Amino acid sequence: MKRGSIVFQIDNIKNICLLLCGFFCTMPVFSIGGLNFYNYPLFIYIIINLFRGKIFLSREKLSMSVLLVSLFISTLLSFSIVPPDWSNYSLKFSFKISILMILLLLVSSNTDLIEGRKYFLRGIYYAAFAQLFWICMQQLFYSLGGIDLNQVVFGIASPIQNGELALTGLSWERANAIIALILGMILTDNQFVKVIFVAGSLLTASRTGIGIIACIIVYDILISHGKIHYKINISIKKLFIYISVALLIIFLMQNNEIRQYFDYTIVRFQRLFTGGNDYSVNSVEIDGHVLYYQWLLPTLKQLPLIQVLFGCGTGVSGWLYTILYGRFPTIGPWGIETDFVGLILGNGIIGATLYYYNSLKIFFLQQNRKLKKIMLAILVGTFMYSFLGSSISILLMIFCLPLSVEEENTQKYDLAGE
């Protein structure tokens, strides 16, 4: 077999690996041996690149590498801070979010990352359709027969909130499905598909999703200098699509269950400020995300300097709220479900500062508008939910890195593969 043919086949395998990684990274229902499935194709991609026998270092990767090292340092320190079962959990968590990502950076050239970006984001785009389909199936089965589809297929029940099934997609939390829908909305240029993804996000009643979508809309308005441009020349096809979407929305709003979901969304936003009526720390009535912010400063004041700087361990920030406030004392190791608070307590001021420095650096230096919006979505999401657990925020930061202008200019940005 000719060398060129072998190289072509290897490149195809690498592209498939990143496509699968992107597709499954928002679907924690798929796991093998306690590790989410997306890690396995990513590991294969790294192994293939490792066999080239080259390490790629560049100034564009430096600050990101420092961030990943700091996450691992927090894990090492956790062995002298938290109980053994918590530190062991932090080590497993750190393997996928730090060690694996450091290896990805080291064995990938700038060209690899630019080419790989295309396939990784395409995988996420396809995942958005899969999540949307599953959300609709969840609603359909629950409406017709009270059947929890995730319980039947995957063996783990979806949450029941406000008397209705929480539409979580191929996940146990709404936000994982939501980020796929939002990224799909960003990546597509098809206006009809954008509307469908937004509608799917609203159907889940996710505050995180609605908050991110609102920020993206504001961003679009700001970059157009506050002017909304209307196209006068609307084709009959597009006019038919817009009218169909409007009629579909009107029809859906006539359904009592759909209207209840929208009403519930409003209630959930109100609870961000009121916290509900029951203020016991483990009550389902109180909004835990409010407590996480309320407890942050009092917690920091009680910590020694080393923990303020480096945290109590990557992925186990919940330990502090368990011992200080009795939050979830029986569930074992857990991380705070808000990245902003989780980073400060789990990885310290140093880790949190490095994370937001890299996020903002990528956002401001990246010239591609779609990639900017992706970083904006991740940035806004950190204040409302935790995306670190699925590694998607770190993976997106790596594949959205603003690399050298010469190489970036060779990339055609058909990111969705439409």
pLDDT tens column, 90-118: 999 999 999 999 999 999 999 999 999 99
- Is pLDDT above 90 for 265? no
Tell me how far apart the 2 most distant CA atoms of the chain are, in Å.
71
pLDDT tens column, 43-86: 999 999 998 888 998 888 999 999 999 999 999 999 999 999 99
- Is pLDDT above 90 for 124? yes
- Is pLDDT above 50 for 277? no
pLDDT at residue 283 in the model: 42
- Is pLDDT above 60 for 144? yes
- pTM assigned to the model: 0.84
Of 156 and 6, the structure prediction assigns the larger pLDDT to 156
List, as one string, the DSSP characters of 33-59. TTEETTHHHHHHHHHHHHTT------H
**% of the chain with per-residue pLDDT over 70:** 78
Cβ atoms of 391 and 120 within 8 Å: the answer is no
pLDDT at residue 146 in the model: 86
Q: What string of H, E and C letters represents the secondary structure of 116-172?
A: HHHHHHHHHHHHHHHHHHHHHHHHHHHHHHCCCHHHHHHCCCCCEECCEECCCCCCC
